[in-house]
Structure formats: C-alpha cells, structure tokens
Amino acid sequence: MIEFEHVSKTYDDGSEAVGDFSAAIPSHKTVVFVGSSGSGKTTLLRMVNRMVTPSTGRILIDGEDVRNTHPVQLRRSIGYVLQQGGLMPHRTVLDNVATVPVLQGTPKREARTEATALLERVGLDPTLGKRYPSQLSGGQQQRVGVARALAANPNILLMDEPFGAVDPIVRRELQRELIRIQAELGKTIVFVTHDIDEAFLLGDEVVVMRDRGRIAQRGTPAEIMAAPADDFVREFIGADRAERQLSTVERGGKRIAVDAQGRAVGVINP
Ligand SMILES: Nc1ncnc2c1ncn2[C@@H]1O[C@H](COP(=O)(O)OP(=O)(O)OP(=O)(O)O)[C@@H](O)[C@H]1O
C-alpha cells in the first residue's frame, strides 16, 4: 500500500503544485489520478519515488517512510513509465530492458534472457531486442518502456501519461495490453492521465483532481459515473459525453453499436 499523508509541494519558484493531499493506494490495484493539466498529478507521482520531495507531509510504502530508503535504491525498486518512454538511445532495446537488473547484480546473460521474455510479455517480437529505440514506432517504444519498468520485478508501477503520445488506435492496444498484464501480475499501479475515458477503462479506482491536487471525487468508475460528486466532476466526466453516446446501425445484416463519430464499438447479439 502507498499512503500519501497530508503532502504538499511548493516549488522553489513559489508555485504551489499540491496543497494538502492525502490518499491510500491499495496494493495490487490500479488507481488513476485524472485531472486537467497542472493539477499536480505528476508532482504527486514523483513524490513516491523521491524525484520530488514534498514540502510537508510524508509518503509511506507498506508503512515505511520513503525517506528511509536511498533514492537510487528506491527508484530501482519502483517501475516508472513516462510519456516519451525515456529509453536510452545508444543502447539496444534488450539492453534498455536489462540495465536495471544488471545494476542490481543479475548476471548479464540471465538479465538478457529475462529481458527477452519481458519483450514477449508486452507483446513485442523478441527479435526487436537487437534494434535501437529510434528504430521502433512510438507504440513499440512505449511497450519497451513498460517492459523496462517491469524488469526489476517491482511491486509498484508509476505510469505518467504513458500512452499520451501515440495515436488513438495504438493507444487502445496499449491500454488493452496493460489490462492483460495487470490481470497476470497484479502490481500496485498509480496511473496519471488527463483522459477520463482512459481513467475509467484502466482504474479499479479513479481520483478526480481539481487544481493543486485537491480531490474532487474518488471512487470506482461505476460509482463516479453513477453519482458525480458535484458540477466540477459532472462536467469533467461529461465534457465529451455526447461523443460517447451510442446508437445502433445495420451493417452486413448485423446490428452494430456505433459512437457519435460512427465508429463501430461492438456487435449486438440478437
Ligand atoms: N519543477 C517545477 N518547478 C516549478 N513549478 C513546477 C515544477 N513542476 C511542476 N510545476 C508546477 O506545478 C503545477 C503542477 O504541475 P504537475 O506537473 O504536477 O501537474 P500535472 O497535473 O501533472 O500536469 P500535466 O498534466 O500538464 O503534466 C503546475 O503549475 C506546474 O507549472
């Protein structure tokens, strides 16, 4: 479990990114922080692996204050996936994935064998391991980013808009892949996004944030959709509701559900 206890953050230039935030993230669940740009999501995420030091308050992982663990050790023990992958450009894909285990003392050969298995786990052809990151598509790079984050077998995965820079179709594939991987591995995932659909798709629980990390509502997707706490949440989740409204059309003798753009979202059984 990850606990945020009354954390706040005011950066050196005086900007107050987080006011007073408390939340517990249960183990083996995916909790999504969703909010507009600048609401403090990234700042909160980075407090967990000590890339940001809270101005006040503390973060506990399984009851232990993160300040008691050396930052380098802590970061190696927590998977971190960023929007742009953050891969090392001059190392092969395989070495990108194997680096942290090698630093932690796994023999190189073993680390590479495990890295190959991880590439498969995230849906990549292992022969891509010989390439360099620039020789992969954006979606493939993000998969490598996930494989790398999993390489040290962390209990915790921090994911900061990991699928934000890829096109909607690839994004969908990556989301499905993450759901599949999470069903197998059961990590404790904190996932940051500004996309409410992504939040509802991936989150066991969703934390809707206003400015400065203020929680507007926390709950399961169903709870939030069924009973938005206030106008802010209603507007946030409903902003594109019209787009999500479904209708049915007849195609090839079948009833198909389509969204407002006419995209097929499913076949309706008679
Ligand atoms: N290193 C920094 N120095 C000064 N101010 C910062 C720093 N990092 C973030 N901020 C400010 O803190 C606030 C919260 O930023 P943060 O990146 O945590 O929000 P966010 O919700 O993740 O936004 P986004 O979705 O745009 O990444 C913003 O006003 C931002 O400008």
Q: Exposed/middle/buried for 197, CB within 10 Å: 0-12, 13-18, 19+?
A: middle
Q: What does the pLDDT read at residue 68? A: 94
What angle, rounded to 10 degrees, do the helices at 168-185 and 138-150 form? 20
Region 101-111: what's the mean pLDDT?
Answer: 91
The per-residue pLDDT of the chain, averaged, comes to 90
Whether residue 40 has pLDDT greater than 60: yes
pLDDT of residue 2: 97
For 154-192, give the secondary structure using H, E and C. Answer: CCEEEEECCCCCCCHHHHHHHHHHHHHHHHHHCCEEEEE
Mean pLDDT of 105-119: 93
> Which positions ≥6 away from 226 have C-beta within 8 Å?
none
**Pair 137, 249 in one domain:** no
Ligand 1 contacts (CB < 6 A) are 11, 13, 15, 17, 35, 37-43, 194
Residue 104 pLDDT grade (very low, low, confident, very high; cuts 50, 70, 90): confident
Supply the angle between the helices 108-121 and 138-150 in degrees, to the nearest 10: 130
Q: Which amino acid is at 237?
A: I
Residues 130 and 258 in one domain: no
Tell me the best of 10, 33, 34, 42 to mutate to test the pocket of ligand 1, counting ligand atoms within 8 Å of each CB and taking the most. Answer: 42
Q: Ligand 1: distance of its center to the CA of 41 in Å?
A: 8
> If you average pLDDT over residues 51-78, what whole number do you get?
94
Q: Which two tokens stand for residue 266?
A: 């499913």
Categorize the per-residue pLDDT at 243 as very low, low, confident or very high, splitting at 50, 70 and 90: low
Minimal-distance CA residue to ligand 1 atom 13: 17
Token readout for 183 is 């069903």
Atom 11 in ligand 1: which residue has the minimum CA distance?
17
Residue nearest to atom 8 of ligand 1 (CA): 43
Q: Tens of pLDDT along 4-34?
A: 999 999 999 999 999 999 999 999 999 999 9
pLDDT of residue 22: 97
Rounded to the nearest 10 degrees, how much is the dihedral formed by the CA atoms of 126, 132, 134, 136?
-10
Q: Tell me which residue has tokens 């019209």.
A: 242
One domain, residues 75 and 147: yes
Centre of ligand 1 to C-alpha 66, Å, is: 21
The verdict on 199 and 68 lying in the same domain is yes
**Does 88 share its domain with 203?**
yes
Is residue 267 predicted with pLDDT exceeding 80? no
Q: What is the pLDDT of residue 240?
A: 53
pLDDT at 31: 97
Alpha carbon nearest to ligand 1 atom 12, residue:
17
Minimum-distance ligand 1 atom for the alpha carbon of 192:
22
- Do both 152 and 250 map to the same domain? no
Q: What is the arithmetic mean of pLDDT over 255-270? A: 70
Distance of CA 107 to the CA centre of its chain: 30
Which residues contact residue 17 at a Cβ distance below 8 angstroms, ignoring those fewer than 6 apart?
9, 10, 11, 40, 43, 212, 213
Checking if the pLDDT of 270 tops 70, the result is no
Find all residues with CB under 8 Å of 11, minimum gap 6, and list them: 17
- Rounded distance from Cα 132 to ligand 1 centre (Å): 31
* Tens-place pLDDT, residues 189-242: 999 999 999 999 999 999 999 999 999 999 999 999 888 999 999 988 885 555
Q: What is the C-alpha to C-alpha distance for residues 152 and 142, in angstroms, rounded to an integer?
A: 17
Same domain, 19 and 83: yes
What one-character DSSP code corresponds to residue 1?
-
CATH assignment of the domain containing 103:
3.40.50.300
Cα 9 to Cα 222: distance, rounded to the nearest angstrom = 31
Average pLDDT over residues 124-146: 92
Candidates 193, 186, 187, 184; CA nearest to 166 is: 193
Euclidean distance between CA atoms 81 and 11, whole angstroms: 23
Count of domains forming the chain: 2
13 and 66 part of one domain: yes
Domain hosting residue 92, numbered range: 2-239
- Condensed to tens digits (0 to 9), the pLDDT of residues 149-159 reads 999 889 999 99
Rounded Cα–Cα distance for residues 121 and 177 (Å): 9
Query: Are the beta carbons of 8 and 21 closer than 8 angstroms?
Result: yes
Question: Cα of 35 to ligand 1 centre, how many Å?
Answer: 12
Rounded distance between C-alpha atoms, residue 177 and residue 183, angstroms:
10
Q: pTM of whole model > 0.80?
A: yes
Do residues 253 and 212 both lie within one domain? no
